[in-house]
Amino acid sequence: MKHIDKIAVVTGGNRGIGKNIALQLAEKGIDVILTYHTHQIEALDVVELIREKGRKAAALQLNSAAIASFDEFFKTLSGTLTENFGTSNFDYLINNAGIGLNEPFESTSEAQFDQLVNVLFKGVYFFTQKALGYLNDNGAIINMSSRLAQSSVSGYSAYASIKGAVETLTRYQAKELSARGIRVNAIAPGPVATDFGGGIVRDNPQYNAFVKANTALGRVGEPEDIGGIVCFLCTQEAGWITAQRIEVSGGMNL
C-alpha cells in the first residue's frame, strides 16, 4: 500500500536497523527525515538512496542524549519540513537511535548507566514530548526496545532495565495520546546482524552460531526483518494496534 504525502522521522537512520527502516519506508511511498549523531556522510548516502526511490528525504544532526539541544533541533526540523517538504508536520516518529553496553552488574559505572539512560530513555521521553507539536493526529510512534527486556543475559542489566522502562513508557504514551488517534507501539528485536555492539552478531562466528542454535527459525535477524515490521505499524492495516510490545526474534529461547 502506497502512502500519499506521509512523512516519517527516523532517529539514527544512517546505519543498521535505522537505515533499513528509512529505506523500507521510502519503498512504501513515505518521505523520510532521518537523524544522525556523527556519521554525516553515511546519512547523506541514505538520503540519496531514498531519493533514488522517488521519495523526498533529509538528514539532520541530533545528539539524542543532549536534551537541552532539542528545542534547537525542532526549529531546524520545522524549517526543513517547510522548505523541503512543503508542510509543517510529520506523521510517524520512529525512536530508533541507540547505544549498547555489555558490562556485568557489579562493575557497571554510574557514568555508563547515565549515558544509557540519557540516550535510550530520557532522550526518547523528552524528544517525543517535543515532537508532539509537529506530529499529526492519527499518526504513529514506534519505540525501539529489545528482547533483553524480557529475558536475562549476563552483562546487560543496565541496558535491559532501561529498555524495560521504554516498554512501560510505550503503554503510557499509547493511553495518553489516544485522544489524538496516535498509536504507540514498541518493537523488541532479537540479535540482529548489524554493526551495533561492535558487530558481534554479524561478525563473531561463535556468537552467530549460538544465536542460530537457540532460535526457532535457525538464524540471526537481519535489518530488513525489523524494518518490515516498523513499516507495517505505519500502515492503515495496523490501525487497531497500539500499546503493544512486538517481539521480532525468530522465536529465540522458546
Judge residue 91's burial from the number of C-beta atoms within 10 Å of its C-beta, 0-12 exposed, 13-18 middle, 19 or more buried: buried
Amino acid in position 31: D
Task: Give pLDDT tens digits for 121-151.
Answer: 999 999 999 999 999 999 999 999 999 888 8
Q: Which of 15, 50, 54, 53 is nearest to 33 (CA)?
A: 50
Give the model's pLDDT for residue 202.
67
Could you say which DSSP state residue 243 is in?
Answer: S
H or E segment and range at residue 143 = strand 135-144
Active site residue 172: no
Give the model's pLDDT for residue 196.
65
Amino acid in position 176: E
- Across the range 142-170, mean pLDDT stands at 94
Q: Is 84 helix (H, G, I), strand (E, B) or coil?
A: helix
Give the model's pLDDT for residue 210.
83
Active-site position among 36, 92, 156, 159: 159
Task: Give pLDDT tens digits for 45-71.
Answer: 999 999 999 999 999 999 999 999 999
- Across the range 84-105, mean pLDDT stands at 96
Task: Give pLDDT tens digits for 179-227.
Answer: 999 999 999 998 888 766 556 666 677 878 888 888 999 998 899 999 9
User: Domain-by-domain residue ranges, the chain?
Assistant: 7-248
Whether the per-residue pLDDT at 96 is higher than 80: the answer is yes
The fold of 7-248 is Rossmann fold (3.40.50)
**Set of cell numbers at residue 133:** 507539536
